Structure 1
Amino acid sequence: MNRRHFLTTSTAALAGSFLAPSRSHALDLTQAPLPYAPEALEPHIDAMTMNIHFGKHHTAYISKLGDALKAANISKTDAIELVSDIKALPEAAQTAIRNNGGGHVNHTWFWKWMAPAGSGPKGPEGKLGEAIQSTFTSIDDFKKLFGEAGVKRFGSGWAWLIVTKDGKLKVTSTPNQDNPLMKGIVDEADLGTPILGLDVWEHAYYLKYQNKRPDYIAAWWNVVNWAEVAKGYAAAKA
């Protein structure tokens, strides 16, 4: 499939693929400000980690994605539509766009999935809460399964809560900067709309927690933005 044919036949299907989970607006090659101060997630996530994670790592993904798109002669407008179907890209560009495009998209979501402790619901409520309890038996069982997905991810990667194409909730995990929207990269059974994700790369927690990833995950639940997750769930089900 050539690039022109891909764009004309797939744009409608992919237009929402790399939107924010609320599907309210497309991402671009700019970095939105954090929705809270870097120190706002303390003591659970420290300000130094947030400054480095946001200001260095995420910024680098955006810069390298721009370089990769330029080298492949792909416009910024096309990029967000194309990055969810990596195999449709020129082969020489696939790795750089997969890694850096995924890094940009995943982190843009990640910042919104967190909020200062006490600023919103302490757990999933409403239809989201009902769906989690129905699917995983209880909120605690869900957290255990999700936490295990993060702990058992060898090396770097992410744990995810997704809405599958048949509207069901599922916990998954991906390596590196892959995510559950990446057709042809992620197993078909694990494709879906991410409504919550946890970064388990060491740069997300090592300054405070060192090698104690389970401690980081346990603390992270205190800053999950359940209101944002609920919005993503409602949008994915719409």
Structure 2
Amino acid sequence: MSAPLQIGLLVFPRVTQLDLTGPLQVFSIVPGASVHLIWKRIEPVASDSVLTLTPTTTFADCPQLDVICVPGGAGADDMINDEEMLQFLRSQAAGAKYITSVCTGSLVLGAAGLLKGYCAATHWTAMEFLGLYGAIPTKTRVCVDRNRVTGGGVTAGIDFALTLVSILIDRPTAQSIQLRLEYNPAPPFDSGSPDTAPPEILARLKERSAPAQARRRTANLRAAERLA
């Protein structure tokens, strides 16, 4: 009897919950998989919404993972300079089959030195920072480069997870999970990308997010300088 597939998703303060819960829902349906939510301590962790998440294991107690996944969110801007987080990722990556992320979680992988020379996706607002870590920014919903699998912003986490299941198990399993979830998106507006959103909507969002973008830039420059 084969050992269960060990899949771990990182939890941290101000994580974007859909970055995590989208893939989590997919991975939880994978036959024979053991799924872990990982943080430094077993304690409630506030997401970027009203939802509070509870880790199932700690950095110290986490088993060797086959898949390690880092979601994104405002908290990721703190994680790129959190040495305890980065060291955990490096340690797990040494034995993991797949090193993955959703949204700005790719910046955390980059800060850990795990994306140098790899193509990677991220949220459109963070694309400019991937190059700081030697990654090759790739404007796609899901990017597969050898054993690095990265998803774009937030909702791309479901696409990412289904893609990874098709690689880990097979396509019919991924298709069955997609059908079970009735994942058949038909968005009401064609404004889910900066390429298609009305210019005034894009300008409004950029204005609102300018302070957060400035903080992200400072954090990433600091992390990249540390890696240099």
TM-score, L = length of structure 1: 0.32
Query: When you count helix as a share of all residues, which structure comes out higher?
Result: 1
TM-score, L = length of structure 2: 0.33
Query: When you count strand as a share of all residues, which structure comes out higher?
Result: 2
